[in-house]
Structure 1
Amino acid sequence: MAKHNETSFTHKFYGSVMPKIYGIGASVVILGAMFKILDWPFASLMIGVGLSTEAVIFFLSAFEPKSQEVDWSRVYPELADESTPMASPKARAAVQTSGDQTAQKLDKMLEDANIGSDLIDNLGKGLRNLADSTQKMGTVADAALATNEYAENVKVASKTLVDINQSYSKTAAALSEMSNASHEAKEYRDQVVSVTQNLSALNAVYEMELQDANSHVKVLNKFYSNVTAAMEGLNEAGKETETFKAELAKLNKNVSSLNSIYGGMLTAMKG
């Protein structure tokens, strides 16, 4: 069963491929962080790709099979404890004897190398000094990091000041244009006032002309009224002329009749 697990695809994948994926994914994450820290182009894209890669790696690592622990007590019996089945009394005795022999050999090697307690104390002091130096180096590294952050902040502040200067220049230009526009607006207002005055004068002239036109219209209306009355009088005169003509025709007819009568009477008187 163990041999089958060792030759399975999952074991091969997590044993051979996943370590490479870990390394490649870590490099992608570091590149994304570097792009973001240095504020390079496509920084947001790179940090997104890096975090996505890390999330995929963590997702795959969740399914990594548990590796089988090796019982090293089979090779090194001294590693076996009392709860281990292999730790028989003989094995424990052999381990104890082997441990004593190892300690004796170690003491002899230290004695031959002239390594005493003073040297070991000096070694301990040196290690403590090394630890202190390492801590101080960490403090220096923190200070360097803080300096880098300060430099980045100064850089950002400088960029902000440049943007503010540009904005101030644009604002000054806009104010200048507004001032020019105000001057032009004043000239436009003066022109509008002049046009308004001219229109007022034209309105006055037009009103006078309108009054004169109204007077002429009234005179013409009166004239037309008189002409109409005259035409009506002519019509009446025409009617009376017709009547006079008819009466005159009757009179002529009567005169003719009288002439005939008088002629007959004269003829009768002569005869």
Structure 2
Amino acid sequence: MKIMHAPYDNVFLMIGLCTEVFIFFISAFDEPSREYKWDRVYPVLNDKNAVTDPKLGNSNVGKTTAKSAACRRAIDQLNKNVDTLNELYINKLNDLYEAQIKQLKNGASADSMQESTRKLADEIAALNEKYKKMLDAMN
């Protein structure tokens, strides 16, 4: 009505805005609805006298079971394997790099440099394949 310049457009606009203010004022006192029923999973949430201090509660969270201990050992072994693979990767790259430096100092031909570079690329591809297998095993 305001755009069309209808009669009494200001009055209707003010009535609409006052209605909107009244609705927002009333809805401010509404209690929000609970979307999740966490109290079904954690009944302690509904208990007003519940002990929430983890040092005082009698929960079994800190105790490890045989399954979690086996999982921890597997993760430790996996970390050890990844560290070993990293060391192998770095040592191989350093050895090939030093070999290329020696060839350059000795005035090696372009063919030998190309062969050395090809070997380096093959080693990197093989190590990347090992990394891929490790990552697939982790997933």
Instruction: Please indicate, yes or no, whether the TM-score normalized by the shorter chain is above 0.5.
Output: no
Q: Normalising by structure 2, report the TM-score.
A: 0.31
- Larger relative contact order, structure 1 or 2 (CA cutoff 8 Å, min sep 6): 2
Q: More helix per residue: 1 or 2?
A: 1
Q: Normalising by structure 1, report the TM-score.
A: 0.18
